[in-house]
Chains A and B, each alone.
Chain A
């Protein structure tokens, strides 16, 4: 069932404003494992009060006008998509309903938009991606004797895990700082995914909240239009198991 959100009468009748925000096939856009399976970040009342016109336009564009690949070659784009699918898996969603990630990385590189700084020991982002993707695939061949795209999901995860922890043969990376590349990639993946209303819905984030704002600020209090948790999912165990959590690493707790 697709939810279709009627455009607001207040919205000027032009451009993307009149288009509808379709947020996936489930009510509210949440994911099956989400504590907020029925939260709808763009429900009618919210669309009316929490989405000012310019933010509507921006997010509608983000949802509907996913840019074509202009920077990466088709083979690079396929590889990057496969990597993103493991760094932020969405196999609980139909392919047509997954939040696009790689196209936004491509767009940023194509347009030459950066963060405003480059580590001295890193090339610029464009070169870093070209070289990083090639090095990652080389590592797959060296370690698993097959290119990344030929590996199973489990093998892909294992390989990415090794790379994320820096357990790679540096020569294959030809001087590219692996840790910085992984961080760059992770940050880009996160910036694309958590900018999407589907992602906001599944974590119970209220969305633009403009112009209405909030009235109930007290601990445990919820404004009627905020996400209501129905299936709590504590992350305590995940933190305990995490490399940088209480279980290990250099950041002890308790």
Chain B
């Protein structure tokens, strides 16, 4: 950290400075660079080259995860790390499982419909054109007909993938029970797109796709952003957003890791700063940026930065089948059902869940055997001999927001740079528990209807959402409907942390649609002269 003693290197000011090159950051960088802004993106992790860097190995994929220390606590502490966040250009989309869903109309109105949470300040219709745009850009492969949303217009850009064995068993179980199912829309291409080849069904998706078929932002939006002039500065970890005397964000201080391992402090000024670090690191950065005039952290006059963190319940039920399944083949989720998505008065809980087949690899599967069945020793090894006869279903269970579930700065623990680590506090609510119990029961019924001889369950969670929610009142939200912070006019928060409720859909497509909408807003405001656009040839 020698470099920190020197005066930090200062870069030429940019129009737009984006922190985090993940699902949202990638979309923002491309849209704003193409619109003629000078764009700099700071990304804490490396800039991967899939063909060069991605090994096809469950353990070797560790390099992709956010493994800087964090503290997890609460009644039901969340497993962080690999399960929730990536680090590197592409963010969590490098190792996500690609399910690309639109939220439902009702998801934006959980307050009005059920009185159990706030409404979103936007409606499905506000996002629809952006969903469309992102689906096209990513080349989502999906079905022609979508049973659950009347608003889905026409087929997906790419043909749906064939069902693998696990999805076929799922479909068989659903058919026998009269449950509707559909092929899953997923972000991996089923035919060539530009220089990217189609999926070859290796099944390594959550360990990084070396085939390059997977539409992470690393290989979709980011190259387009670079082509339009954006600078992606990898290995640069933002540590503080600096606010000027005028109350506007002036610059961001960050630590750059050099090739020799040394870390130097640098500073980047910009007209407009967007934080896209996701639900843990965005609140952490805002809280760590407490300064004169902002004693409780930036953008935190509501006191809501870090509050309302949500996670999907992802309980898994495994079934043993007489047929050989080979569950490792193909993308893990190739079909799903949303028949249990909406509030139903017959349930003892509100809202609902999606059920998705999954295909855990040996290490993940064995861990579930250990945690779910309590097996170890000879019996664990013997059960593993039967790995190829199992099929599993996973849940995406809606989690109601609770301001007691938080991201704060840990008072004691510091990371390698001496920065306070994030402390994540989480506990399920009663509704959440009832909901995921019901979800696991459904999963079991489907597997049994498909012919499972025996089933067992492992608890799990997935997908972070919330902790800087959007709203239309500065006292009850952190950002407005355009992701602009209420307190600092040129500071935006645009990533999964702006979610008001969790929905029961995998979140990334919605995060990306919100980012595309925010980009449009910024372009429009620039036309009025509010934000500068310096680059030549503005679109």
Contact = CB atoms under 8 A, between A and B. Distances in A.
Interface of A: 33-35, 52, 54-55, 58-59, 62, 86-89, 113-121, 157, 160, 164-165, 183, 186-187, 190-191, 193-195, 199-200, 202-206, 208-215, 217-222, 226-227, 229, 233-236, 238-246, 249, 251, 253-254
A203 B387 contact: yes
A59 B60 CA distance: 9
Given A190-B366, A217-B329, A119 B72 contact: yes
B247 interface: no
B377 A213 contact: no
A234 B386 contact: yes
Nearest to A204: B388
Nearest to B376: A87
B385 A202 contact: yes
A59 B59 CA distance: 10
Which of the listed residues B363, B375, B381 has the most CB atoms from chain A within 10 Å of its own CB?
B381
A164 B388 contact: no
Given A194-B384, A217-B163, A116 B80 contact: yes
A88 B376 CA distance: 7
B444 interface: yes
A34 B383 CA distance: 10
Given A86-B377, A242-B374, A219 B59 contact: no
B381 A88 contact: yes
Given A113-B62, A194-B363, A203-B362, A229 B388 contact: yes
Contacts of B382: 33, 233, 235, 238
Contact of A191 (B59, B81, B326, B384): B59
Interface of B: 52-53, 55-60, 62, 65-73, 77, 79-82, 85, 162-165, 168-169, 199-204, 210-211, 320, 323-326, 328-330, 361-363, 366-367, 370-389, 413, 423-424, 444, 448, 453-457
A208 to B, nearest CB: 4
Given A59-B57, A243-B373, A116 B379 contact: no
Contacts of B372: 244, 251
Nearest to A182: B376
A222 to B, nearest CB: 7
| Interface pairs A-B: 5 shortest CB-CB | A213-B200, A116-B81, A243-B374, A120-B73, A116-B67
Given A118-B72, A160-B377, A222-B324, A238 B363 contact: no
A195 B164 CA distance: 24
B279 to A, nearest CB: 14
Contact of B320 (A89, A206, A239): A239
A249 B374 contact: yes
A14 B448 CA distance: 52
Nearest to B326: A226
Given A116-B65, A117-B80, A251 B59 contact: no
A251 B384 CA distance: 20
26 contacts: A35-B385, A88-B377, A88-B380, A88-B381, A89-B378, A114-B81, A115-B80, A117-B71, A117-B81, A118-B70, A118-B413, A120-B71, A120-B423, A160-B376, A164-B374, A199-B384, A202-B384, A203-B385, A204-B387, A212-B202, A214-B329, A243-B374, A244-B372, A244-B373, A244-B375, A254-B448
A199 B384 CA distance: 9
Contact of A210 (B162, B165, B202): B202
Which of the listed residues B168, B169, B388 has the most CB atoms from chain A within 10 Å of its own CB?
B388
A234 B328 CA distance: 18
A242 B457 CA distance: 12
Which of the listed residues A113, A165, A191 has the most CB atoms from chain B within 10 Å of its own CB?
A191
A229 B387 CA distance: 11
A219 B456 contact: no
A187 to B, nearest CB: 6
A87 B454 contact: no
Contact of A211 (B162, B210, B384): B210
A218 B370 contact: no
Given A195-B58, A217-B329, A243-B374, A210 B204 contact: yes
Given A33-B382, A205-B387, A226-B326, A235 B79 contact: no
A195 B320 contact: no
A245 B204 CA distance: 29
Which of the listed residues B53, B58, B324 has the most CB atoms from chain A within 10 Å of its own CB?
B324
B220 to A, nearest CB: 21
B68 A116 contact: yes
Contacts of A195: 57-59, 363
A186 B370 CA distance: 7
Nearest to A191: B363
Contacts of A219: 165, 168-169, 323, 325
Given A119-B72, A217-B162, A251-B457, A233 B386 contact: yes
B57 to A, nearest CB: 6
Nearest to A208: B56
B370 A210 contact: no
Given A235-B383, A253-B454, A58 B375 contact: no
B201 A116 contact: no
A34 B378 CA distance: 13
A213 B58 CA distance: 16
Contacts of B376: 87-88, 160, 164, 186
B234 to A, nearest CB: 19
Given A233-B382, A239-B383, A209 B320 contact: no
Nearest to B80: A117
Contacts of A54: 52-53, 55
A114 B69 contact: yes
B345 to A, nearest CB: 26
Given A34-B385, A234-B320, A243-B374, 13 more contacts: A35-B386, A54-B52, A89-B378, A115-B67, A117-B79, A190-B366, A194-B384, A203-B384, A210-B211, A215-B201, A217-B163, A220-B324, A239-B454
Given A89-B377, A113-B67, A213-B202, A58 B444 contact: no
A244 B454 contact: no
B165 A218 contact: yes
A64 to B, nearest CB: 15
A203 B362 CA distance: 9
Given A191-B363, A203-B387, A115 B201 contact: no
Contacts of B162: 217
A236 B373 CA distance: 12
A208 B325 CA distance: 18
A174 to B, nearest CB: 20
Which of the listed residues A58, A205, A246 has the most CB atoms from chain B within 10 Å of its own CB?
A205
A203 B85 CA distance: 29
A240 B454 contact: yes
Contacts of B389: 234-235
Contacts of B362: 194, 199-200, 203, 205
B56 A55 contact: yes
